[in-house]
Amino acid sequence: MRIRERSGNTQRLLLGRADPGLDDEGRLQASRLAAALGPLDEARVVTSPLARCRQTAEVIVGVSEHEVPVDVDEAWIELDYGAFDGLGAGDVPADTWAAWRADVAWAPEGGESLAALGARVRSACESLAEEARERDVVVVTHVSPVKAAVAWSLGVGDEVAWRMWVGPASISRIGFAGWSPSLRSFNEVAHLT
């Protein structure tokens, strides 16, 4: 799940490793997300280290009756846009977007490729899989890691990321049918209305 930051997402900025906190709308979305998820007393909660995710995680565990620890895991941090971090999506040249879409191993200067992000998220998913068979694991993360986790659950390549859109404060659910992960839902947003 991901929460929108008005200063970044409404302006279509590539936030990547930028670390703004939640604005008023982001806090409202986090509250609605918490209400949709309900108490997480028996769940494990994992978050990206970036402020917008840590703040969201604090809100969602706040509705539980007991204290729920939040584990910060670097594996769930957003894609590193390198030299493009903080730029508007329209400020990246069209030929650069074309190169990026054509090759999942391509990375912006000083940044990370979709292939590298996919490898780290697949590893993070694998490390949580056994536990997720026994109890809910809630991961508070960003657009690109959500897409990579969905690709892992479907057993498809990282290039599928270009064919997905992840909404602000949306919920995607991955479960297990036997020993294989399966996508249960994608981009749920009804809780935001």
- Two tokens at 18? 């930028």
List the chain pLDDT tens, one digit each, 193 residues. Answer: 443 333 445 567 899 998 999 999 999 999 999 999 999 999 999 999 999 999 999 999 999 999 999 999 999 999 999 999 999 999 999 999 999 999 999 999 999 999 999 999 999 999 999 999 999 999 999 999 999 999 999 999 999 999 999 998 999 999 987 889 999 999 999 999 8
Measuring CA to CA, which residue among 103, 129, 125, 127 is closest to residue 115? 103
Burial class, 190, CB count within 10 angstroms (exposed 0-12 / middle 13-18 / buried 19+): exposed
Contacts of 16 (CB under 8 A, 6+ apart): 78, 79, 80, 81, 82, 84, 85, 86, 111
How many angstroms separate the CA atoms of 132 and 44, rounded?
9
